[in-house]
Amino acid sequence: MYSIIYITAGDLPEARKIGRILVEERLAACANIFPIASIFRWKGNIEEASEFGIIVKTRTGKVKEIEKRVKEIHSYEVPCVVSYRIDEGSSDYLEWINDSVNCQDEI
């Protein structure tokens, strides 16, 4: 099974760092980074911030490991790390994800 993980970061350098580490450590096949405007509640206040979203493609078996790793390297006290299962997709693309994260034991 495969998943997409959505992560937010405070700036582009941090988003790039997170994406690169996840790909280098073979936890993720790919990380897409894009600017976002966020409105959120934090410690009783409504906040607005410019952030960067990161969409990570991986095997579902790697989700918990990615969550742990992101918490280790993220600057946020409570980073956004949420996953969504991929129900369907191009078999060639899903095979590439599998090969990229080197999860032969999870097939």
pLDDT tens sequence across 70-83 = 999 999 999 999 99
State the pLDDT confidence band at 106, using cuts at 50, 70 and 90: very low
Residues 21/31, Cβ–Cβ less than 8 Å = no
Residue of 23, 26, 7, 24 whose CA lies nearest to 74: 7
pTM for this predicted structure: 0.90
The Cα 77–Cα 58 span in angstroms is 24
Q: Per 3-state DSSP, what percentage of the chain is helix, strand, and coil (rounded to 5)?
A: 40, 40, 20
Domain layout of the chain by residue ranges: 2-101
Please compute the mean of the pLDDT values over residues 45-52 and round it to a whole number. Answer: 96
Yes or no: domain 2-101 corresponds to CATH 3.40.50.11740: no
